[in-house]
Each structure stands twice: as structure tokens, then as C-alpha cells.
Structure 1
Amino acid sequence: MKITSIDIKHYRIPLDPPFRASWDPKPRTQFGSTVVSVHTDEGITGIASGDLMVGFAGHENLFIGQDPFEIERHSQIIDNIDLHYGRCWPLDLALWDIMGKATGQPIYKLLGGRQNKMLAYASTGEMLAPEVRADRAVGLVEEGFKAMKIRFHNANPKDDIKIVEAVRKAVGDKLEIMVDANQGWKMPWDVERTWDLKQAYQVARELENLGVLWLEEPLPCHDFIGMAQLRQMVGIRIAGGEMNRNWYDFREMIRHGSLDVYQPDVALTGGFTQIKKVAEMAQANGHWFTPHSWSNGVGMLANLQLTCAVSTCPYFEVPFDPPTWTPERRDFIQADKLRVDKDGYIAAPDKPGLGFELDMEMLAKYEINSVHMW
């Protein structure tokens, strides 16, 4: 089998009402997805999404004529492109989609096959008044969720903690609660100060008293030593790594003892090929691996495939914060929307490869030339 061509196309839907992401000062009035299709001489096409593939144009010749199964070679080239231009890891996902389709197996089985479903946690995205977030948390319980993540980003962290207190009072022990402090990285236009170690410690102690499972991104993503110090100071688990760009960042975090929960996203960093190794390295050192999955529905599905393959962590992230973040928005390029079952689980498809089909009507309606996601 040989790769014959690679196509990249872009799509964008309007968001009305807008999505007000806690980590972004600008309300989001549109949402974009990029689809990469890798064609072969045997009629098998690998399809993936999850990042913009900026910087890939002109590099198709590095893959055309090559065997898609030579994945370590391809991963090295994508890594080289990442260094010079931008993140093109959906190409790795598309190559694995080819391998799954060629062998008749879902990717999670090719990568390890540990389980075929994960207990989902509803990863909320907006900052809301305590009583509103508490009401929505009760709704999550009614939908079957067993866990949720609350986003922080108020000017005063005490106001964020009040939200957790309200949720805990409303749901008791019916939901496991995680918290994302959103201090690890910034949008290009965000110039507000981030927490320091003392601030992160004070918040972590409050959350520990509220029975929160983990505190995510409490310090800048490059502060490996600071996170290690915080981890030793508190009993709550410290999570992070969602936007770290290089596999060796995770090697150094593990060496320093920076995190309890490692969250690299296969669509943003390393693809299946590299992040499987990171997951194994983290778990071999006694830590949890459960990836970030906030890109789009295909990116979430890719991360679910790897999580089902290897993870020993009890939970998987499902971006879900209705009415402004729903499967209909998140998965708009997919024919079948990904949903959690009545018992709180999300299952990996049993179809070969990534296991999804494109919604051709939506693609025809929303194709664009620009590559801006938001």
C-alpha cells in the first residue's frame, strides 16, 4: 500500500448564542474544524481532525509514495514540521485510521485494547454564577454523569471556590469533581497575570477540603519545578500537560515529579505514535494518564481510542456544557454525535480505524478557505 495524495479542507459553523470559554476573554461566535484525508492506492482513505494543520502545505511530497504503516518514520517527519511550522498531528491520526481500516480493527485494539469504554467526566467550559453551575451539575447527574470538571478564571480565586462549594452542596457525593485553573497557557491576546506557587497552594488546600479529585493547570505549563513543589505541599492530585508541545517535556515532568495526572492530547501533540509512549512512561512511574480532549469531536474520539487502549485512570474528558457546548456543535463534521450512556460511560466505536463517518451535508454547507478555528 502507498500514499497517493493528502487533502486538507477547512470548515466553520456560527455559534449563536456564543460560547464564552473561561480561558478566553473573547466570546466565541464561530467554531472551525480542519479535516485531513490521506488517500492510498488500495482505495483506503484515512480521515482525521482535531487541529488546524497550519504549516503542512508543501510537505505532502514527504509522504506521497510511502507505506502508511511506516508510522515511526512519518511521526519523525511530523515532529520536524512541528518544530519549524506548526502542529500537524492529525496526519498521524489519519495514518492510524488507514491502518485500522486495512486490518479491520478499531485503533484502540491496535494500540493495546485494554478496554472499550471509559467513565466520562463532563468537562464544562464556561464560568457561571454558583447557583447556575450548581443547577447544571444536578442536570449532569440526571444524564448519568459520575464526574464533572469546573473551570476557574475569576479575578479573585475565592469567587471560583464559591462555585465549587455550591456544586458540592447541590450534588453531595453523586459527582466526583475536578477543577481546571486554566493557568498553564494563554490565548495570544491574554496579558493577565497567572498564579504563583503561593496562590496555587492556597487554592489547592481549599479544594482539597472540598474533596476535589484533581487541580489542573495551576501553574504555567513550563514550571516543572513549581508544579513538583506544589504536588509535595498538598494532598490533592495535580494535573496538566495539555498544551506542552514536545515529548521530552513529559520526560522532564516525570523526572521532576511535577504531576499526578498527565494530559497530553494526541490531536495537538505527538499523535497516537508519540503519546502512547508518554502514557506508558507516566503510568510506569505510578501516575495517571487521561488526555485533554478539547479540540473537536474527532479529536475527542482519537483521545478516547488511546485512553481505551492503555489508560488505568478511571475517567475520560468529554467536553460538554449545554446549551453553549453540545455534541451538535462539538461534532458538527461527524454524522454520528458522541454521547455518554445512562451509566456515565462513553464507548469507543467498534468500527475499523477511528470509527466515524463525515457528515457530507454539513461539510458542503460550511466549507471555507480560512483556517481560524474560533
Structure 2
Amino acid sequence: MKITAIEIKHYLLPLEPPFKAAWDPNPRKKFASTVVQVHTDEGITGIGSGDLMTGFEGHEHLIIGQDPFAIERHSQVIDNIDFHYGRCWPLDLALWDLMGKATGQPTYKLLGARSDKILAYASTGEMVTPEVRADRAQLLLEQGFKAMKIRFHHKDVRDDIKVVEAVRKSIGDKLEIMVDANQGWKMPWDTEPTWDLKKAYQVAKELEQLGVFWLEEPLQSHDFRGLAQLRQMATGIRIAGGEMNRRMHDFREMNFLGSLDVYQPDVALTGGITQVRKIADMVQSSGAWFSPHTWTNGIGVMANLHLAAAISHCPYLELPYDPPSWTPERRDFIQQNKLNIDSEGYLHLPQQSGLGVELDLEAVERYAYNKVYVGEST
């Protein structure tokens, strides 16, 4: 089997009403998704999605004509492109989808098949009043969720803590609560100072009293020593992070220093399945958890689901979900199969070969706005 073509397309879903993301001061009126398809001479096509794959054009000859199963070789090529240009890891996801289809196996079985299901935590995205968030938490509980994540981004962190207090008062101990401090990285326009170690510690101690399961990104993503120190100081609460750290040596250094309890590299944004699997093995061998960030789209969630179910020791996987503003219909608009939990809060692994993703042909026709590149073998 040989790779004959790589096709990259972009899709744009209008959002009405807009989605008021906690990390963005401007309501989001559109949601973009990129899809890469890898075609072969045997008629099998692999599908992946994630970042824009900026910088891939001009390097397609390094992949086309190759055996798709030479995944370590392809991962090195993508890593080289990542260093010089931009994230092209959706190509790695498409190759794992392709290998699953070629062997007739779901991808998670190729990766280890530790389990065929995993509990999802509802990862909320908006900042709303304590009363609204408490009401939404009750709805999550009724739907079967066992855990949820609340995002911080008020100017005064005490206003954020009030939201957690309201949720805890409303649902008691029926839901685990995670908190995302959003201090690890910044949007281009964000010039506000991030938390220092003392503030992060003070917040962690407050959240510990509220029984918070983990505190995510309380310091900048490259403050490895500060994170390690905070983890030792705030011994009653887990420290999570790593969603935007892009290089293997970041995770090697964090693992060496003991920076985190929960490591969150996203296969769609950092390293693909091939490299993130190695990161997960490394940190789990040191006693930490691997629980990937998944906030891209449904295909990105699915790829992370396959890896997490195959190898993760962490009981939960992130599911971006915050109705009515963020729903499966929006998150998964380019695919037929919308991701949902069962009545017990589990995401189940699809049993068809590969990642188990089928594109919604009507949606991709309707929302396509640009075909970036089609590379074919000659």
C-alpha cells in the first residue's frame, strides 16, 4: 500500500447565537474546522482533523509515495515541519485512521485496548453567573455526567470561586469538579499579567476546601519549576496542564521535575497519536495521569478518545460540552456521528475500523470555504 494523495479542506460553521468563550472577550460567531484526508492506491482513505496544517504545502512529497504504516518515519517528518512552520499533526491522526481501516480494527485496539469506554467530564466553555452555572450543573447530573470542568477568567478570581461555591452547594458531592485557571497560555490580544506562584497557591487552597478534583494551568505552561513547587505546596489538590506544550523535551523536563499530576497533551495539536502515546507512557510510568485536552472538534475528541481508552489510567476524558451554547451539533458539525455519553456518563469506543468517523457529506458541501491543497503522486 502506498499513499497517493493528501487532501486538506477547511470548513466554517456560522454560530447564531454566538459562543461566548471564557478565553475570548469577543463572542465567537463562527467555528472553523480543518480536515485532512490521506488517500492510497488501495482505495482506503484516512481522515484526521485539528489545526490548520499551515506550512505543509511544499512538503507533501515527503509523505506521498510512502507506506502509511511507516508511522515513526512520518511522525519525524511532521515533527520537523512543526518546528519550522506550524502544527500538521492532523496528518498523523489520518494515518492512524488509515492503518485501522487497512487492518479492519478500531484504532484503540491497535494502541492497546485497555478499555472500550471511558467516563467523560463535561468541559464547559462559557463564563456565566454562579446561578446559571449551578443550574447547568444540575442538568449535567441528570444527563449522566459524573464530572464537570469550570473555567476561570474573571478579573477578580474571587468571582470565579463564587461559581465553584454555587455549583458545589447545588450538586453536593454528586459531581467531581475540575477547574481550568486558563493561566498557561494567552490569546494574541491578552496582555493581562498571569498568576504568580503565591496567587496560584492561595487559589489552590481555596479550591481544595471545595473538594475540587484538579486545578488546571494555574501557572504559565513553561514555568516547570513553579508548577513543581506548587504541586508540592498544594498537596491536597491535583495540578494539571500541558495542553499547549508542543515539544517532547517540555514533557521530559516536566516529568523529571514532577511538575504535574495530570498531563494533557492533545493529539490533534501536539505530537499526534504517535508522539503523545510516548509522552503518556513516560508520565504514567512516574505515577502521573494522562488525560488529554480535546477542545478542537469531534474528530479531535475521537482521536484523543481512542488513545485515552487504549492506555490512560485517568478515570476521565474531556468532552467539550456546555449547552445551550456548545453542543454536539456545533462541535461535531462536519461528521455524521455526534459524540454523546450514555446514561452512566461513559463515552464508548466505536467498533468500526479506524477512528470510526464518517464525514457528513451535506455539511462538508455546505460549509466548505477553501481547499488549501491537494497533493498527488505522479
- TM-score range (shorter-chain normalised) is over 0.9
Q: Which letter does structure 1 place at the counterpart of 2:29? A: T
Q: What is the DSSP-based 3-state SS (H/G/I as helix, E as strand, rest coil) of the residue aligned with 2:278?
A: helix
Q: How does 1:193-208 map to 2 (within 5 A)?
A: 193-208=193-208
- Residue in 1 aligned with 2:375? none
Q: What is the DSSP-based 3-state SS (H/G/I as helix, E as strand, rest coil) of the residue aligned with 2:31?
A: strand
Instruction: Supply the distance in 1 between the matched residues of 2:27 and 2:283 (Cα, whole angstroms).
Output: 35
Q: What is the DSSP-based 3-state SS (H/G/I as helix, E as strand, rest coil) of the residue aligned with 1:225?
A: helix
For normalisation by structure 2, the TM-score amounts to 0.97
Summarize the Cα distance change of 1:370–1:4 in structure 2 as closer, same or farther, 3 Å threshold.
Answer: closer
- Residue in 2 aligned with 1:325? 326
> Could you tell me how far 1:27 is from its partner in structure 2?
1.4
Question: For the Cα contact (< 8 Å) 1:221–1:240, is it kept in 2?
Answer: yes
For the pair 1:285 / 2:286, whether they are aligned, the reply is yes
Q: What is the DSSP-based 3-state SS (H/G/I as helix, E as strand, rest coil) of the residue aligned with 1:369?
A: strand
Q: How does 1:1-374 map to 2 (within 5 A)?
A: 1-234=1-234, 235-369=236-370
Q: What is the DSSP-based 3-state SS (H/G/I as helix, E as strand, rest coil) of the residue aligned with 1:37?
A: strand
Is there any run of 5+ residues in structure 2 with no aligned partner, and where?
Answer: 373-378
Instruction: Supply the distance in 1 between the matched residues of 2:267 and 2:362 (Cα, whole angstroms).
Output: 27
Question: For the Cα contact (< 8 Å) 2:18–2:27, is it kept in 1?
Answer: yes
Instruction: Supply the distance in 2 between the matched residues of 1:91 and 1:317 (Cα, whole angstroms).
Output: 22
Question: For the Cα contact (< 8 Å) 2:9–2:371, is it kept in 1?
Answer: no
Instruction: Supply the distance in 2 between the matched residues of 1:252 and 1:264 (Cα, whole angstroms).
Output: 14
Q: Which runs of 4+ in 1 moved over 3 A?
A: none
Question: For the Cα contact (< 8 Å) 1:120–1:147, is it kept in 2?
Answer: yes
> Could you tell me how far 1:369 is from its partner in structure 2?
2.2
Question: For the Cα contact (< 8 Å) 1:262–1:287, is it kept in 2?
Answer: yes
Instruction: Supply the distance in 2 between the matched residues of 1:254 and 1:23 (Cα, whole angstroms).
Output: 27
Question: For the Cα contact (< 8 Å) 1:111–1:310, is it kept in 2?
Answer: yes
Q: What is the DSSP-based 3-state SS (H/G/I as helix, E as strand, rest coil) of the residue aligned with 1:170?
A: helix
> Residues 199-231 of structure 1, C-alpha deviation per residue, up to 9 Å, x if partnerless?
100000000000000000000000000000100
Q: What is the DSSP-based 3-state SS (H/G/I as helix, E as strand, rest coil) of the residue aligned with 1:302?
A: helix
Q: Which letter does structure 2 place at the counterpart of 1:175? A: L
Q: Which letter does structure 2 place at the counterpart of 1:288? A: W
For normalisation by structure 1, the TM-score amounts to 0.98
Question: For the Cα contact (< 8 Å) 2:8–2:371, is it kept in 1?
Answer: no
> Could you tell me how far 1:26 is from its partner in structure 2?
2.0
Question: For the Cα contact (< 8 Å) 1:25–1:190, is it kept in 2?
Answer: no
Question: For the Cα contact (< 8 Å) 1:146–1:174, is it kept in 2?
Answer: yes
Instruction: Supply the distance in 2 between the matched residues of 1:121 and 1:331 (Cα, whole angstroms).
Output: 17
Q: What is the DSSP-based 3-state SS (H/G/I as helix, E as strand, rest coil) of the residue aligned with 1:195?
A: coil
Instruction: Supply the distance in 1 between the matched residues of 2:186 and 2:349 (Cα, whole angstroms).
Output: 31
Instruction: Supply the distance in 2 between the matched residues of 1:24 and 1:347 (Cα, whole angstroms).
Output: 32
> Could you tell me how far 1:370 is from its partner in structure 2?
8.4
> Residues 20-42 of structure 1, C-alpha deviation per residue, up to 9 Å, x if partnerless?
11112221110010110000001
Question: For the Cα contact (< 8 Å) 1:327–1:339, is it kept in 2?
Answer: yes
Instruction: Supply the distance in 2 between the matched residues of 1:146 and 1:370 (Cα, whole angstroms).
Output: 40
> Residues 233-286 of structure 1, C-alpha deviation per residue, up to 9 Å, x if partnerless?
012000000000111111100111100000000000000100000001010000
**In terms of mean alpha carbon deviation, does 105-114 or 187-196 score higher?**
187-196
> Residues 82-116 of structure 1, C-alpha deviation per residue, up to 9 Å, x if partnerless?
00000000000001111000000011000011001
Question: For the Cα contact (< 8 Å) 1:180–1:216, is it kept in 2?
Answer: yes
User: Percent identical across equivalent pairs?
Assistant: 73
- Residue in 1 aligned with 2:376? none
Q: Which letter does structure 1 place at the counterpart of 2:177? A: I
Q: Which letter does structure 1 place at the counterpart of 2:144? A: G
Q: What is the DSSP-based 3-state SS (H/G/I as helix, E as strand, rest coil) of the residue aligned with 2:67?
A: coil
Question: For the Cα contact (< 8 Å) 1:34–1:50, is it kept in 2?
Answer: yes
Is there any run of 5+ residues in structure 1 with no aligned partner, and where?
Answer: none
Instruction: Supply the distance in 2 between the matched residues of 1:313 and 1:49 (Cα, whole angstroms).
Output: 24
Q: Which letter does structure 1 place at the counterpart of 2:43? A: G
Instruction: Supply the distance in 1 between the matched residues of 2:20 and 2:195 (Cα, whole angstroms).
Output: 21
Q: Which letter does structure 2 place at the counterpart of 1:20? A: K
Q: Which letter does structure 2 place at the counterpart of 1:201? A: Y
> Could you tell me how far 1:51 is from its partner in structure 2?
1.5
Instruction: Supply the distance in 2 between the matched residues of 1:283 and 1:190 (Cα, whole angstroms).
Output: 34
> Could you tell me how far 1:58 is from its partner in structure 2?
1.4
* Root mean square deviation of aligned Cα: 0.8
Q: What is the DSSP-based 3-state SS (H/G/I as helix, E as strand, rest coil) of the residue aligned with 2:34?
A: strand
